[in-house]
């Protein structure tokens, strides 16, 4: 069975959670390893000689390995060829093949890339990453939006029905004129973050239009109908569709349900601060979806659908675990958050856990119930959220397997940056936008996983607007007051915020900085009310 249901999502900014629990992760500087004759995807398997568990293919140094793989993936994306219509290949296709695969854009492909690249820019300081974000957003905005006179105006269509037309005009399965509101919400959230990064108000305006359209169509929902539909005809508002392979000739109604509303909720929550006139309406929209998520998916484990190319119902790992991440970020909204998140994690392992690699002491994660094949992005997503949960709860149940899962997912990346789904294709969703961010979130949750031989910015409660790495200093700016975390090769000699020197403090909740020494370098946490930070090493 080929992976014809490909497309994966989750968009968000960095989730900062380090320091919530004194659960120290100890990773040896050097591990006695052995290469065995077996291979996974592109590489000979490297295992820990002591216990037989899987290590990254690149080396026994976990941080150096993750860093190498992320840069390989970015470089492959960055160097991708121009297609016949003058756009980059990834603006037309969801699968990379030398002969040009003739499937169009993945439904959340642009949003995923925007999500990952925002984190990758902070991690590397590479301006090309930020420029690519603007390229993606500008082209998608120019070519994808539904007509302003339609019932559902100003929303992006997810698919280019004429592959090289340079126009996104419908849905992969249901054709022209049909869009996916959940993917629109994801795009709106990423546009809002891009506005914060660049200050360009066209992104803010586009995000607000998306938020307002979605807000105007929200209903309470029930067990069979989410507050917003999974698919809708933008012009007419029709939500019942006859799928091409539905031999009964009847319209199917599951197009009215999806549990993928994490980033739409975040979009509404954010816009309360940008539009005081509609703040109450945004709050009501947020609350309506939140109450529905609590009343239905969180209780029923009805975690589908997500993927636009499946012919019927499928529960997905991405919807479930993404909501688990939302709970961790908004614990005050969930009185029993530990139980809620653990319940989601347990459901994913029971329903979608893959034991094909048990001989390497790891269980990885399948994509969805109709395609039970382990995914590179799904597995890394699972690991990142489990490490967030570990750090915040103090429960170490999932920690060891989560790190081994990240190790396993490195094997899908070739030496040239091709990132191939196990037994499948090189998906520009799963292998790129929906891959990089999970490693960076994992490092933010447990900075010991970040490379020790480089200075790296790992996470912030705000958004990075500028960053530069120099041998003697790091300068960066954030959109608003924040708490930030970095893995550094040495302890700084001075840190300033808006030109004023910050003091070292053992209290991570007060303004200042905290330094935690590791076996090599250490972890720096900074809490600040200003926007411009300078870290000096001399």
What would the pLDDT profile of 236-264 be if each residue is shown by its tens digit? 999 976 554 444 555 555 589 999 999 99
Give the chain's length. 538
Nearest alpha carbon to residue 147 among 216, 202, 209 = 209
Determine the pLDDT at residue 254.
54
- Per-residue pLDDT reduced to its tens digit, 269-328: 999 999 889 999 999 999 999 999 999 999 999 999 999 988 889 999 999 999 999 999
Determine the pLDDT at residue 79.
98
Asked whether residue 176 carries a pLDDT value surpassing 90, the answer given is yes
Chain-wide mean pLDDT for the chain?
Answer: 92
- Per-residue pLDDT reduced to its tens digit, 264-273: 999 999 999 9
Would you say 405 and 365 are in contact if contact means Cβ atoms under 8 Å apart?
Answer: yes
Asked whether residue 110 carries a pLDDT value surpassing 90, the answer given is yes
304 exposure class (CB count in 10 Å sphere: 0-12, 13-18, 19+): buried
Determine the pLDDT at residue 507.
83
Determine the pLDDT at residue 509.
82
Would you say 526 and 484 are in contact if contact means Cβ atoms under 8 Å apart?
Answer: yes
Alpha carbons 479 and 195: distance in angstroms, whole number: 10
Alpha carbons 530 and 435: distance in angstroms, whole number: 32
Q: How many CA atoms lie within 13 A of 165 on its CB side?
A: 15
Of 27-41, 105-119, 208-222, 361-375, where does mean pLDDT reach its minimum? 27-41
Beta strand pairing status for 473-478 and 512-517?
unpaired
- Per-residue pLDDT reduced to its tens digit, 317-334: 999 999 999 999 999 999
What six digits make up the tokens of 238? Answer: 């029709």
Determine the pLDDT at residue 35.
84
Of 29-43, 46-60, 396-410, 441-455, where does mean pLDDT reach its minimum? 29-43
Using a pLDDT cut of 90, give the percent of the chain over it.
Answer: 88
Averaged pLDDT for residues 489-496? 98
Nearest alpha carbon to residue 265 among 461, 8, 12, 459 = 12
**pLDDT band with cut points at 50, 70 and 90 for residue 409:** very high
**pLDDT band with cut points at 50, 70 and 90 for residue 459:** very high
Averaged pLDDT for residues 64-86? 97
- Measured in Å, how far apart are the chain's first and last C-alpha atoms? 58
Distances from the Cα of 246 to the Cα of 107, 162, 243, 307, angstroms? 21, 23, 5, 17
Averaged pLDDT for residues 37-47? 96
- Per-residue pLDDT reduced to its tens digit, 325-358: 999 999 999 999 999 999 999 999 999 999 999 9
Averaged pLDDT for residues 164-191? 97
Averaged pLDDT for residues 484-491? 98
Which residues have CB under 8 Å from 247's CB, separation 6+?
none
Determine the pLDDT at residue 8.
27
Determine the pLDDT at residue 467.
98
Asked whether residue 403 carries a pLDDT value surpassing 60, the answer given is yes
Using a pLDDT cut of 70, give the percent of the chain over it.
Answer: 92
More confident residue, 33 or 233: 233
H-type alpha helices, 160-225 = 181-198, 201-215
Of 249-258, 399-408, 417-426, 442-451, where does mean pLDDT reach its minimum? 249-258
User: What fold is seen in the domain 33-451?
Assistant: Glycosyltransferase (1.50.10)
Determine the pLDDT at residue 14.
35
For the chain, which residues make up each domain, given as ranges? Answer: 33-451, 457-536
Q: Return the number of other C-beta atoms located less than 10 Å from residue 417's C-beta.
A: 21
Sheet holding 33-40, edge to edge: 33-40, 43-48, 54-55
Alpha carbons 227 and 235: distance in angstroms, whole number: 19
What six digits make up the tokens of 5? Answer: 């249901």
The three-state secondary structure class of 512 is: strand
Tell me, letter by letter, the H, E, C secondary structure of 15-47: CCCCCCCCCCCCCCCCCCEEEEEEEECCEEEEE
Averaged pLDDT for residues 504-521? 92
Alpha carbons 294 and 496: distance in angstroms, whole number: 43
Asked whether residue 11 carries a pLDDT value surpassing 50, the answer given is no
Averaged pLDDT for residues 392-407? 98
pTM equals 0.93
- Per-residue pLDDT reduced to its tens digit, 81-92: 999 999 999 999
Longest dimension (CA), the chain: 73
Which residues have CB under 8 Å from 408's CB, separation 6+?
40, 54, 357, 360, 362, 364, 379
- Sign of torsion, CA 322 326 331 334? negative
Determine the pLDDT at residue 398.
98
- Per-residue pLDDT reduced to its tens digit, 198-234: 999 999 999 999 999 999 999 999 999 999 999 999 9
Determine the pLDDT at residue 9.
28
């Amino acid at each position: 069975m080929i992976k014809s249901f490909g497309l994966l999502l989750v968009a968000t900014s960095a989730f900062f959670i380090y320091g919530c629990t004194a659960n120290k992760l100890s990773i040896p500087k050097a591990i006695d390893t052995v290469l065995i004759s077996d291979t996974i995807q592109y590489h000979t398997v490297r295992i820990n000689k002591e216990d037989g568990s899987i290590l990254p293919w690149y080396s026994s140094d976990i941080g150096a390995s993750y860093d190498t793989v992320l840069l390989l993936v970015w470089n492959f994306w960055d160097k991708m060829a121009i297609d016949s219509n003058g756009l980059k290949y990834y603006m037309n296709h969801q699968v990379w093949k030398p002969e040009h695969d003739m499937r169009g854009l993945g439904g959340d492909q642009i949003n995923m890339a925007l999500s990952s690249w925002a984190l990758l820019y902070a991690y590397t300081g590479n301006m090309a990453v930020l420029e690519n974000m603007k390229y993606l957003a500008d082209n998608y905005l120019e070519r994808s939006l539904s007509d302003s006179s339609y019932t559902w105006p100003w929303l992006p269509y997810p698919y280019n029905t004429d592959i090289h037309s340079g126009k996104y005009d419908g849905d992969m399965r249901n054709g022209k004129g049909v869009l996916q509101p959940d993917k629109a919400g994801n795009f709106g959230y990423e546009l809002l973050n891009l506005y914060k990064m660049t200050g360009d108000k066209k992104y803010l305006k586009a995000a607000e239009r998306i938020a307002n359209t979605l807000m105007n169509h929200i209903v309470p929902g029930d067990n069979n109908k989410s507050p917003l539909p999974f698919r809708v005809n933008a012009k007419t508002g029709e939500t019942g569709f006859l799928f091409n392979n539905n031999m009964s000739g009847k319209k199917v109604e599951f197009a009215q349900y999806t549990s993928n509303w994490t980033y739409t909720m975040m979009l509404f929550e954010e816009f309360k601060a940008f539009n005081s006139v509609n703040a109450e309406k945004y709050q009501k929209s947020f609350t309506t979806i939140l109450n529905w998520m609590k009343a239905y998916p969180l209780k029923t484990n009805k975690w589908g659908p997500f993927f636009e190319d499946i012919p019927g119902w499928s529960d997905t790992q991405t919807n479930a675990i993404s909501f688990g991440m939302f709970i961790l970020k908004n614990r005050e909204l969930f009185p029993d958050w530990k139980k809620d998140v653990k319940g989601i994690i347990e459901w994913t392992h029971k329903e979608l856990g893959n034991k094909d690699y048990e001989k390497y002491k790891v269980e990885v994660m399948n994509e969805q119930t109709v395609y039970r094949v382990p995914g590179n992005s799904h597995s890394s997503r699972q690991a990142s959220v489990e490490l967030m949960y570990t750090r915040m709860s103090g429960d170490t149940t999932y920690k060891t397997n989560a790190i081994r899962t990240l190790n396993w997912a490195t094997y899908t990346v070739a030496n040239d940056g091709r990132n191939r789904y196990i037994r499948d294709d090189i998906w520009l969703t799963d292998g790129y936008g929906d891959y990089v961010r999970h490693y960076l979130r994992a490092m933010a949750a447990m900075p010991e996983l970040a490379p020790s031989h480089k200075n790296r910015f790992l996470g912030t409660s705000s958004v990075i607007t500028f960053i530069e790495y120099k041998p003697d200093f790091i300068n960066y700016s954030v959109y608003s007051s924040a708490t930030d975390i970095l893995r550094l090769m040495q302890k700084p000699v001075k840190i300033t915020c808006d030109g004023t020197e910050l003091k070292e403090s053992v209290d991570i909740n007060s303004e200042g900085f905290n330094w935690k020494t590791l076996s090599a370098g250490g972890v720096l946490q900074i809490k600040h009310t200003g926007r411009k930070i300078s870290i000096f090493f001399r």
